[in-house]
Amino acid sequence: MLSVEDAYKIFQLDGFLRNITVSDIRLSRGHAEIEIPLEKNLLRVGDIMNGGAIMALSDAVGGISVMTNEGVQNEFTVNLNVNFLRQISTGPVKFIATTDRIGGKLAFCRIEVVDGNQELCATSIGTWYIVR
């Protein structure tokens, strides 16, 4: 299973994700939670969280949840669908991913994004290709 230390390394080694501060990571088999402060580099006009940042972090936490499953060495996103329910203007922001099904080559996850007021702001479903 992917360790919390290795999950932090994913952010540190990624050219894009390294610019995002991660304040907390929680992992269990088939589940990942990432908490980030809502910093200026994640905001768009109107001081709300940029939709691209929400999608990128949803993708990252979904992939990390896949990697918490036994025998998974790596993963690649096949598809990610994001529904934006409300704007995010307060932090910290939590990204919560659950692997709903894992097969031989594909894993299916759902992701919820919650703002600092504990409001559900976005949901995603995705498919990841598994490298064992």
Three-state SS for 126? strand
Look-up of token digits 């504990």: 118
Domain containing 106 — which CATH number?
Answer: 3.10.129.10
Which pLDDT score is estimated for 71?
96
Which pLDDT score is estimated for 33?
99
Which pLDDT score is estimated for 12?
97
pLDDT in tens, 26-55: 999 999 999 999 999 999 999 999 999 999
pLDDT in tens, 115-129: 999 999 999 999 999
pLDDT in tens, 51-64: 999 999 999 999 99
Q: DSSP secondary structure string, 55-99?
A: HHHHHHHHHHHHHTSTT--EEEEEEEEEEE-S---SS-EEEEEEE
Which pLDDT score is estimated for 6?
97
Crossing angle between the packed helical segments 51-67 and 4-13, to the nearest 10 degrees: 140
Backbone angles phi, psi at 86, to 5 degrees: -160, 160
pTM over cut 0.95: yes
Write out the residue range of the structural domain in which residue 56 sits: 4-131
Residue type, 86: R
Instruction: Name which residue leads in pLDDT, 1 or 54.
Output: 54
Cα distances (Å, whole numbers) of residue 58 to 11, 84, 93, 95: 13, 12, 11, 6
Q: By 3-state DSSP, what share of the chain in percent is helix, strand and coil, each rounded to 5?
A: 25, 45, 30
Which pLDDT score is estimated for 98?
99
Number of domains in the chain: 1
Q: Are 26 and 32 in contact (CB under 8 A)?
A: yes
Which pLDDT score is estimated for 60?
99
pLDDT in tens, 61-112: 999 999 999 999 999 999 999 999 999 999 999 999 999 999 999 999 999 9
Q: Please state, in angstroms and rounded to a whole number, the distance separating the CA atoms of residues 2 and 82.
A: 25
